Structure 1
Amino acid sequence: MAKVNQTILLKMQSPVALIPQLAGHLIASGGKRLRPMLTLATSKMCGYEGDRHAELAACVEFIHSATLLHDDVVDESDLRRGLETANAVWGNKASVLVGDFLFSRSFELMVADGSLEVLAILSNASSVIAEGEVLQLTTANDMDTTEDSYMQVIVAKTAALFAASCEISAVITKGSKTEQAALKSYGKNLGIVFQLIDDVLDFSAEQEKLGKSVGDDFREGKVTLPIVLASRRGSEEERSFWRRTIEDLDQTDADLKTAIDLMNKHGALKDSIERARHYGAIAKDALAIFPDDDYRKALTGIVDFCINRAY
């Protein structure tokens, strides 16, 4: 991770002073570095001895950071991990352009690695993430969104990069196609777990411990799984509450508490966590073909860590 952080610091430098300033604000804001950590750990589990994995882990973090900068602009977010977002400090234009810079840096790192297969995996993930974000725009404020549509969004916008960050490890270690598919499955299902729990946390006091505001998704009219389940299971009167608050964004201060009460009444939060456990089990099972060493134990533990954030 020290090598990854060193690469990140080096590659975000630019003679245009605002670029390292704004990028540094985001990168130093206390993220978990989960995606690059996955690249490192899966590479080591596959027996990798070189240092390409550190450069590629930095590349993965740049892709992630670029999407965060763009996301915060789209969502008009003022806070990320308890700190002001880059767009709140420097404005939307600068955030979008520095996000573009970080994307470009990630592609420079991919090209420097020299593997066309790695380039194919990471560039495909980048386009899938963008598709997921656009798809989320089309489902926002739409209470006709189904669980399948919601899953399509999170597989694209979150799970794709988790999957890619693990899959590239099999390429640089010259692993078999079976190992590559297993790592991709592990990453994808872990990404689904991560996003499901994130969406549950939007309606939980635990969210405050993570440095985020409770109810952000609700206020923005994002249709997440807890909302889909509570609405589908509710009465006509309850569904009209969801249409007013999510579709029309006509919200009062008391509505967030009402939303959480309805979710608890219909078991929407509990069942969303159960969905996460299901995908977590798939992620763990995908690792069964690898040696049961400390790296595999750590990767299995990450699944539990992601689920346990909900408690």
Structure 2
Amino acid sequence: MQIQEVFSRYASELKRVEEEMEAHLRSEVSVIPEIVNHLLGSGGKRFRPLLVLATADLFGYRGTRCYTLSAVIEFIHTASLFHDDVIDKAETRRGKVSANNIWGNAATVLVGDYLYSKAYQLMAKDGTMEIIQLISNTSNVMSEGEVFQLIKCGEANLSEEEYRKIIEKKTSILISAACALGGHLGGAGTERIEALKQFGLRLGSAFQITDDTLDYVASQDEFGKEIGKDLGEGKMTLPLIYTLKRCTPEERKFIEEALAERKAKEIPVAEILALISRYGGIADALRSAEILIDEGRAFLDGMPEGPAKEALLAISEYVLKRNL
């Protein structure tokens, strides 16, 4: 199964998710849906809701709770993007001017808070304690990841272990929760829900590693953000971590000084990209992502065979190949 077939299989369900999100974003404060729809309507693929739908389908779930809980996951994800853009002073998001550059930091942060509170309101209405605990724990870990990344920003000595800790907390944990949600809805049982969590953790880490790699190699039109943006923000990602391990002391000093002075003068993106290419940082980062995907697929062994499992395997393959 190809990724296009996956989206076709769940097209009607994803439409229901969109309708669910729209229904819960109505507010008498008109700027709230205006700001939210600026981002939600800018081309996101609804990757996390797709995982909720596919994992629920894996265990034969046919109810309507999946639409509300998919909206919960997407609201939390979108809220985190709003907060990220304020922290990073981002100018663009998905190829459009970022919300914080149009409405300002205060409004953007508050609308992010609104989305978080809306997600919890919907969870409370759903009323399943296991799901409330899952999402509550997930949101808490995501916040830890944001703070950890903030204090490590610009540190050229960030280890690969610390990097993986950041991406697991910031990105992987929500993708893991999306997979576990489908298992809960389908009554998969404790062991299989845990397997789905582990599948999602590895899928999410591979997703972030490829995303970080695309920061160096994709075209801006495809990727939706300025190439080299992570460098400009002082974010240490896996291709750069691998490069710093292998380059000469002089080259390391050059990169460290560029990161330290990034706020005072333009970062030499082309020169750093050349070093990353020379030392195989991109290729090795992608190999790391591939290993994670292979580990994740192993957690699907013994899961019910059929189109839903094929869809999850196709999503795994898509993560490795998107826009490269």
- The bucket for the TM-score relative to the shorter chain is over 0.9
Question: Could you tell me which residue of structure 1 aligns to residue 155 of structure 2?
Answer: 142
Matched, 1:197 2:210: yes
Aligned to 2:3: none
In the alignment, what sits opposite 1:280?
293
| Residue identity opposite 1:269 in structure 2 | I
Cα shift readout 1:77-115 (whole Å, capped 9, x = no counterpart) = 111110111111111000000000000000011111110
Identity, % of aligned pairs? 36
Q: How does 1:239-250 map to 2 (within 5 A)?
A: 239-249=252-262
Q: Which whole-Å CA distance do the structure 2 matches of 1:250 and 1:18 have between them?
A: 32
Asked if 1 retains the 8 angstrom alpha-carbon contact of 2:223 and 2:323, the reply is no
1:305 aligns with 2:323: no
Give 1:247 deviation, angstroms. 2.7
Asked whether the equivalents of residues 218 and 323 of structure 2 are also in contact (C-alpha less than 8 Å), the reply is no
C-alpha distance 254-15 of structure 1, shift in aligned 2 (>3 A):
closer
How far apart in 2 are the matches of 1:252 and 1:200? 24
The 8 Å contact of residues 230 and 268 in structure 1, kept in 2 or not, is answered as: yes
User: How far is 1:182 from its partner?
Assistant: 1.1
- 8 Å CA contact retained: 1:141, 1:248: no
Report if aligned partners of 1:244, 1:251 keep a CA contact under 8 Å in 2: no
Superposition deviation, residue 206 in structure 1: 3.5
Is the CA contact (8 Å cut-off) linking 1:229 and 1:268 kept in structure 2?
A: yes
Secondary structure (helix, strand or coil) at the match of 1:287 reads: coil
Do residues 261 (structure 1) and 274 (structure 2) align?
A: yes
Mapped partners of 2:28, 2:215: distance in 1: 39
Distance 1:297 1:108, change over 3 A: same
- Runs ≥4 residues deviating over 6 A: none
Unmatched tracts of structure 1, length 5 or more: none
Distance of 1:44 and 1:100 partners within structure 2 = 31
| SS across alignment from 1:183 | helix
1:11 aligns with 2:11: no
- Identify the residue that residue 186 of structure 2 maps to in structure 1: 173
* Alignment correspondent of 1:69: 82
Q: Are 2:33 and 1:20 equivalent residues in the alignment?
A: yes
8 Å CA contact 1:290, 1:296 repeated in 2: yes
Question: Which residue of the partner structure matches residue 50 of structure 1?
Answer: 63
Question: For the residues of structure 2 that align with 1:146 and 1:124, how far apart are their CA atoms?
Answer: 25
Counterpart position of 1:94: 107
Deviation string 1:39-93 (CA, Å, 9 cap, x unpaired) is 0110001110111111100100000010011000001111111011111111100
Distance in 2, matches of 1:250 and 1:80, equals 20
The corresponding residue for 1:211 is 224
Cα deviation for residue 231 of structure 1 reads 0.8
Task: State which of 150, 170, 178 in structure 2 corresponds to 1:157.
Answer: 170
> Separation in 2 of the partners of 1:54 and 1:119?
16
Alignment partners' CA distance in 1, 2:81 and 2:267: 30
Deviation sequence 1:225-251 (CA, Å, 0-9, x none) = 111110111110011011111133278
* RCO higher in structure (CA 8 A, sep ≥6): 2
Contact 1:223-1:246 at 8 Å conserved across structures: no
Partner of 1:223: 236
- Supply the AA of the counterpart residue of 1:295: A
Query: CA contact under 8 A between 1:208 and 1:214: conserved in structure 2?
Result: no
Cα distance in 2 for residues equivalent to 1:275 and 1:310: 18
Give TM-score scaled by structure 1 length.
0.97
Equivalent position SS for 2:174 = helix
Answer yes or no: is 1:294 the counterpart of 2:316: no
